[in-house]
């Protein structure tokens, strides 16, 4: 296999790129060597060399503890539990949450053989032992596995002296009732808010 | 901007990847360092260091002249003219054409300011001077610019003693008449073949 084919094959393993779009991407890189290929190689090298997993919260960052864990202006009494670093990034984009995070590294899944030991649950419990944390927000996906993980965690956290909350379910902003699934509509009706 | 954001920004400039899918790809790379991130860096480095443009035909290859131009088993009397290296790859995949190629590097486009000087047309004419080439196949897209380029080239090649052909237009394999555009149907009818 030649260099180009090997690169196409590796690029095709990225999520969102199939064999055809990987080919197109590689061709584009070869046409824009200075503007794209060399910067991409440099940026990948930097990330490979510098980015590590935060030993406190599981975030990915050049610093350990990560920038969020170090930030003294953040509320250390509030921990938001997410399944994945991508979820942490999503919450950071809305710039509304000012507490700290804890990345589980996945959700419980009987099908995929993910049990509590595979997730960062013991480190979460250790973080709560200090007594600084007053509230834990379970920001998990509204999927079966996400909800199972939420129930499991809320059982484990119950004996500790912390408030436990989860994200609200309901009509997504911009959503039309007509197109909503029944589950969402039921949750939205149950959790209706007084005006 | 931190390392991860810079990488996401660069990845997002690849065709087929937007900001959201670039984020997903970078996260995937960071999770699969050994299996994906390091091999990708190596493969990109190899391609950047080794792959060059063939000075004969314009193909991209580690060798110059490229593997196709060097291959003595290929028919040197037949040249297939394509707009882009991606088109050459597409023709190589069907493994039906056994001649050589010439990559123009684009098509004529008044809108994009691409004139004959921007394309590899003079080198093509020089390749035909030797007299070895007997037929030139214009394998250009059935777009306005592709067809304009084909007409222009056929005018330029007319004085030379070579046969000129173009790809057939017609019903694509698997295509239903009902869904075909009028232009294709007209071409398919005009170029109907006796059984």
Spell out which chain B residues touch chain A, with contact meaning CB-CB distance below 8 angstroms: 2-4, 6-7, 10-11, 13-17, 21, 23-30, 33, 36-41, 43-48, 50-51, 60-62, 84-86, 89
Does some domain include residue A144?
yes
List the single residue in A37, A51, A86 with the smallest CB-CB distance to B24: A86
Pair (A159, A98) in one structural domain: yes
Is it the case that residue A133 has pLDDT exceeding 80? Answer: yes
pLDDT at A142 over 80: yes
Q: Is the dihedral of CA A32, A34, A39, A45 positive or negative?
A: positive
**Alpha carbon distance B29, A61 (integer Å):** 14
Q: What token pair was written down for B51? A: 């792959």
Asked whether residue A58 is assigned to any structural domain, the reply reads no
Domain that holds residue B76: 60-166
pLDDT at B184 over 80: yes
Provide, as residue numbers in chain B, all residues whose Cβ is less than 8 Å from the Cβ of A15. 21, 24-25, 28
Looking at the structure, do residues B68 and B111 belong to the same domain, yes or no?
A: yes
CA distance A10 to chain B (A): 6
Determine the pLDDT at residue B33. 94
A78 with A36, same domain?
no
Residues A156 and A113 in one domain: yes
Both A101 and A41 in a single domain? Answer: no
CB atoms within 10 A of CB A120: 18
What per-residue confidence (pLDDT) applies to A64?
94
Question: Do A46 and B14 count as a contact with CB atoms less than 8 A apart?
Answer: no
Of B43, B48, B51, the CB nearest to A38: B48
B19-31 and A85-94 helices, crossing angle to 10°: 140
Helix, coil or strand: residue A160: coil
Residues of B in contact with A17 (CB under 8 A): 16-17, 25
Number of domains in chain B: 2
pLDDT, tens digit (0-9, with 9 covering 90-100), for A73-113: 999 999 999 999 999 999 999 999 999 999 999 999 999 99
Q: What is the mean pLDDT of residues A152-176?
A: 91
Pairs across A and B, CB distance < 8 A: 129
Instruction: Give CA torsion, residues A11, A14, A16, A19, to 10 deg.
Output: 40
Same domain as A101, residue A136 = yes
The answer to whether the Cβ–Cβ distance between A27 and B84 falls below 8 Å is: yes
CATH code, B28: 1.10.8.420
To which residue do tokens 């009494």 refer? A77
Quote the mean pLDDT of chain A. Answer: 93
Q: Where on the phi/psi map is residue A106: left (φ > 0), alpha (ψ -120 to 50), or beta?
A: left
What is the CB-side half-sphere exposure of residue A41 using CA atoms within 13 A? 19
Looking at the structure, do residues B79 and B20 belong to the same domain, yes or no?
Answer: no
- Of the residues A40, A64, A88, the best mutation for testing chain B's interface (the one with the most B CB atoms within 10 Å of its CB) is A40
Residues A78 and A46 in one domain: no
**Nearest residue of B to residue A13, measured between CA atoms:** B36
- The CATH number that applies at residue B97 is 3.40.1360.10
Chain B residues with CB under 8 Å of A39 CB are: 10
- Kindly calculate the radius of gyration of chain B based on its CA atoms and give it in whole angstroms: 21
Q: Are residues B66 and B104 in the same domain?
A: yes
Residue A181 within a domain? no
Residues near B108 by Cβ (< 8 Å), separated by ≥ 6? B114, B115, B116, B119, B145, B148, B149, B152
B8 within domain boundaries:
yes
Residues B156 and B64 in one domain: yes
Convert the pLDDT of each residue in B82-113 to its tens digit.
999 999 999 999 999 999 999 999 999 999 99
Contact B106, B118 (CB under 8 A): yes
Q: Residue A98 and residue A73: Cα distance in Å, rounded?
A: 8
CB contact under 8 Å between B86 and A23, yes or no, is yes
Instruction: Looking at the structure, tell me whether residues B129 and B150 fall in a common domain.
Output: yes
Tell me what pLDDT residue A178 has: 85
> Looking at the structure, do residues B101 and B66 belong to the same domain, yes or no?
yes
- Residue B44 C-alpha, separation from nearest chain A C-alpha, in angstroms: 7
Looking at residues A140-157, what average pLDDT do you find?
A: 94
Helical (H) or strand (E) element with A20: helix A19-31
Sorting pLDDT into bands at 50, 70 and 90, what band is B139? very high
Helix B122-129, helix B144-157: angle, nearest 10: 40
Task: Look at residue A105 and tell me if it is in a domain.
Answer: yes
- Answer yes or no: are the C-beta atoms of B62 and A3 closer than 8 Å: yes
pLDDT value for A83: 96
- Under DSSP, the state recorded for A118 is G
ipTM reported for the complex, 2 dp? 0.83
| CB atoms A37 and B48 under 8 Å | yes
- Pick from A10, A30, A38: CB nearest B40: A10
């Amino acid at each position: 296999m030649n260099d180009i084919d090997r690169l196409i094959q590796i690029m095709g393993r990225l999520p969102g790129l199939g064999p055809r779009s990987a080919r197109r991407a590689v061709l584009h890189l070869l046409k824009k060597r200075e503007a794209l290929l060399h910067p991409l190689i440099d940026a990948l090298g930097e990330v490979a060399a510098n980015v590590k997993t935060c030993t406190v919260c599981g975030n990915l960052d050049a610093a350990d503890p990560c920038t969020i864990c170090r930030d003294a202006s953040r509320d250390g009494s509030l921990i938001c539990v997410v399944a994945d670093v991508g979820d942490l990034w999503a919450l950071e984009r809305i710039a509304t949450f000012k507490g700290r995070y804890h990345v589980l590294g996945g959700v419980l899944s009987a099908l995929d053989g993910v049990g509590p030991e595979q997730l960062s649950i013991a480190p979460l419990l250790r973080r709560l032992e200090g007594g600084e944390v007053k509230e834990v927000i379970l920001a998990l996906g509204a999927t079966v596995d996400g909800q199972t993980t939420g129930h499991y965690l809320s059982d484990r956290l119950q004996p500790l002296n912390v408030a436990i909350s989860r994200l609200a379910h309901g009509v997504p902003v911009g959503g039309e009732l007509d197109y909503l699934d029944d589950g969402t509509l039921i949750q939205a009706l149950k959790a209706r808010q007084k005006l």
